[in-house]
Amino acid sequence: MKISLPAQSPMLSKDFIYGVATASFQIEGSADTRLPSIWDTFCATPGKIRDNSDGKQACEHVKLWQQDVDLIESLGVDAYRLSISWPRVMHKDGSLNQQGVNFYIQLLDALIAKGIKPFVTLYHWDLPQHIEDDGGWLNRETAYLFEDYAKKIVQALGDRVYSYATFNEPFCSAFLGYEVGIHAPGKAKVSYGRQAAHHILLAHGLAMQALQQYSPNSLNGIVLNFTPCYANANNAEDRNAAELADQYHNQWYIKPLFDKCYPDIIDKLADDEKPQVEAGDFDIIAQPIDFLGINFYTRAVYTTSENEFFQQVDMVDAPKTDIGWEIYPQAFTDLLTSLNEKYSLPPIFITENGAAMADKLENNQVSDIDRIEYYHSHLNAVNNAISSGVTVAGYFAWSLMDNFEWAEGYLKRFGIVYVDYQTQQRTVKASGLAYRDLINARS
């Protein structure tokens, strides 16, 4: 079983960037050498993480980073997407923590020495807890603290970074963290979710200005996740439900970046559910971006509901990954072509795509054939979008290695490298080898 693309695909050119991705809290460990984040607090709250685990050790990447860089190199990738832990690089008083900064400097230097392009995300969900204590993303001030963090870290890292993303998936931080509460900080109110989203988008715009000023030579942008919405029955009611779900979960985070407003569904919210927007906010939010990062995993299907705008339908008989997400690669093509029609987009990077599978380590091997199939079908879905005119410049597999999967703890494995958490032994899975072979097969 291998991953292949049509012979003429632009994704088989050496200019197309292939990478692997991780995030700080999910792999770093060494929690005692940084400030606490909202995820430390959330993990310590009973009932929030399925296996009651936490990120104190995770993949011990802070200790094992050199062997992890060798591992990344062995996969033959062009790029590595990592995130910086805000609570590792900043003290409470807002000054840089040089010890934490040095960790990233040595990591970036090691990547660069091997010719691997660093793609750095400034925020992959690990807000310092002391900022949450002052209101977190519900407090407008947090956007300005983020701008300050961005300015300082970007200047400290100098010209080492190929690409910066301000945020990873504002949807997850705002909706999962503040509206339904299944992610940190575990708050649950519609108005909270909408307000957090607005402050995160504002923070993105403020940080974009800083990035373009202090790091004009890197590709600067943002990473959004999309779960394309489909109608359950092909009738007007279900199509409308899917349209509203799309506006609420997907377009809410991209439309302000290009059109300087929220989608129409905002008019259906009660006044006390709408975010407070100040004059000039949309001008800040809609800073030009050099690239758009897109994370795709699955689609969602909707029907009408009596008391909600829409209701998700479980596709009972559909193929699913080990985390229960439907495998539906056509949605990836549909997503890319429809975004390309709606907005005048900069080049796209697929910053995450991958699958959780029930992996077994046997005789030092993991034959994750179903994951290879997932990558094969989804890379071909991207290729189909490129064929119909969408500009995609690169693709990152989520994830380099198994890691702390948020509310699922260590129960779900997304890696193309297997991690034995007892020994911290890494083993490249069959999917990792297949990905390497695809990358090496380019001309």
CB of 271 to ligand GBH, least distance (A): 28
Binding flag, residue 9, ligand GBH (CB under 6 A): no
Binding flag, residue 246, ligand GBH (CB under 6 A): no
Contact between 147 and 103 under an 8 Å Cβ cutoff? The reply is no
Q: Please identify which residue in the block is written with the tokens 């994750």.
A: 368
Residue 120 tokens read as 């750095």
Binding flag, residue 179, ligand GBH (CB under 6 A): no
Query: Segment contacting ligand GBH (CB under 6 A): 89-97, 112-120, 290-298, 358-366?
Result: 290-298
- Name the residue nearer to ligand GBH (CB basis): 148 or 322: 322
Residue 207 tokens read as 């940080």
Ligand-binding annotation for 297, yes or no, is: yes
Query: Segment contacting ligand GBH (CB under 6 A): 39-47, 92-100, 295-303, 365-373?
Result: 295-303
Binding flag, residue 373, ligand GBH (CB under 6 A): no
Residue 54 tokens read as 């936490």
Query: Segment contacting ligand GBH (CB under 6 A): 30-38, 164-172, 327-335, 433-441?
Result: 164-172
Contact between 407 and 177 under an 8 Å Cβ cutoff? The reply is no
- 381 contact partners, CB below 8 Å, separation of at least 6: 329, 330, 332, 333
CB of 408 to ligand GBH, least distance (A): 8
- Name the residue nearer to ligand GBH (CB basis): 153 or 300: 300
Q: Residue 352 catalytic?
A: yes
Contact between 396 and 348 under an 8 Å Cβ cutoff? The reply is no
Site string for ligand GBH, 106-125 (x = CB under 6 A): --------------------
- Name the residue nearer to ligand GBH (CB basis): 300 or 382: 300
Ligand-binding annotation for 365, yes or no, is: no
Position among 129, 298, 333, 380 found at the interface with ligand GBH (CB under 6 A): 298
Q: Please identify which residue in the block is written with the tokens 């339908």.
A: 313
Distance CA 61, CA 30 (A): 8
Ligand-binding annotation for 106, yes or no, is: no
Binding flag, residue 147, ligand GBH (CB under 6 A): no
Binding flag, residue 225, ligand GBH (CB under 6 A): yes
Q: In this structure, are strands 425-428 and 417-420 parallel, antiparallel, or unpaired?
A: antiparallel
- 102 contact partners, CB below 8 Å, separation of at least 6: none
Position among 16, 42, 414, 435 found at the interface with ligand GBH (CB under 6 A): 414
Q: In this structure, are strands 17-21 and 392-398 parallel, antiparallel, or unpaired?
A: parallel
Query: Segment contacting ligand GBH (CB under 6 A): 42-50, 144-152, 167-175, 357-365?
Result: 167-175
Nearest to 19 by CA among 423, 411, 400, 337: 400
Integer-rounded Cα Rg, in Å, for the chain is 21
Q: Which of 28, 132, 169, 179 is catalytic?
A: 169
- Write out the binding residues for ligand GBH, residues 26-45 only, by CB under 6 A: 26
Ligand-binding annotation for 141, yes or no, is: no
Query: Segment contacting ligand GBH (CB under 6 A): 44-52, 198-206, 296-304, 374-382?
Result: 296-304
CB of 267 to ligand GBH, least distance (A): 25
Site string for ligand GBH, 341-370 (x = CB under 6 A): -----------x------------------
- The set of catalytic residues is 169, 352
Name the residues that contact ligand GBH, by CB under 6 A.
Answer: 23, 26, 168-169, 172, 225, 227, 295, 297-298, 300, 325, 352, 398, 405, 414
Residues at the binding site for substrate are 26, 124, 168, 297, 398, 405-406
Positions at the binding site: 26, 124, 168, 297, 398, 405-406
